[in-house]
Every structure is written in C-alpha cells, then in structure tokens.
Amino acid sequence: MTLPSNELLSKVLGKEVTHLKFIDACDARLGLRANDIVVSFGECNATYNAYELMHLMKEWTLKNNFCIVSATFTAEEDDIEENWIKGVNYAWAEIHYEGKLFRADTEFEAVVQSCEWVLKQGDTK
C-alpha cells in the first residue's frame, strides 16, 4: 500500500512525523488490526485506522481550499474510453480544481495521491 509522505502527515496531524508503518494483518499481542497505520512522532507512537487517516487528510485539504471526493466501485460494463473492465473494482479521488482525477488500487491510495498533489501546490496550512 502507498502511504502518505512524512511531510504530508506532519501537516495533517500538526506534529512532526518521523516514521510510518502499515499493518496488513492483525497482531492481537500489540492490539493492532489490519489496515492500521502506526505513526511515529519521535519517541511517541500513535495508531490510526487507514479510513480514519483518510478522513483527516480530506479535512486537511478542505482547510486548504480544496475538496476531495473519493469512491470505490465495480464497473458494470466495459468502457474502453475510461479503461474499465466489467466486474473489476476501481478506486478514484477527484479534486474539484482543474478536473484533477487520481486513480489507484484502493480509495486510500487515491486520496493519498490527491493530498500529495495539494501539498505540492505550496502555501498549505
């Protein structure tokens, strides 16, 4: 899974992020679930669910005057123009600014791509 950059998450969470780790399987000993992301702030760690982090990233873009709409869907028919195949799952995120559209394997990754784009525009809070 594509994770957000430390720079992006530092902006989103308001603290300097030094390391990220994606948890793809449950670890009951550590109280971690699949799709958790462990975020390190120096010597402190915090655990976020990927969906919770995705929501926080979308809120951050709103504070920076961008709106991200994202979704996952299953193509109901082949569409050569959009390069979709019937029955295949797709994820996308769209920024309502100059028609920016980001596609990825998961909704989380599409949102990460779009937030990284917003970060590159500069002058973000």
Q: Which two tokens stand for residue 64?
A: 């920076």
pLDDT band at 30 (very low <50, low <70, confident <90, very high): low
Residue 15 pLDDT level (bands cut at 50, 70, 90): very high
Mean pLDDT to the nearest integer, 87-95: 82
Residue 34 domain flag: yes
Model pTM? Answer: 0.82
Domain of residue 90 covers: 6-120
What mean pLDDT comes out for the span 97-123?
88
36 is a domain residue? yes
Which stretch of 3-7, 27-31, 36-40, 97-101 has the lowest confidence by average pLDDT?
27-31
Banded pLDDT at 80 (limits 50, 70, 90): low
pLDDT top residue among 27 and 4: 4
pLDDT at residue 81, as a whole number: 66
Decide if 99 is inside a domain.
Answer: yes
Whether residue 1 is contained in a domain is answered as no
Q: Does some domain include residue 125?
A: no
Contact 113, 93 (CB under 8 A): yes
* Contact call for residues 3 and 109 (beta carbons, < 8 A): no
Query: What pLDDT was estimated at residue 88?
Result: 78
Q: Is residue 74 part of a domain?
A: yes
CA distance 41 to 18: 6
User: For residue 29, what pLDDT is reported?
Assistant: 66
Count of the separate structural domains present in the chain? 1
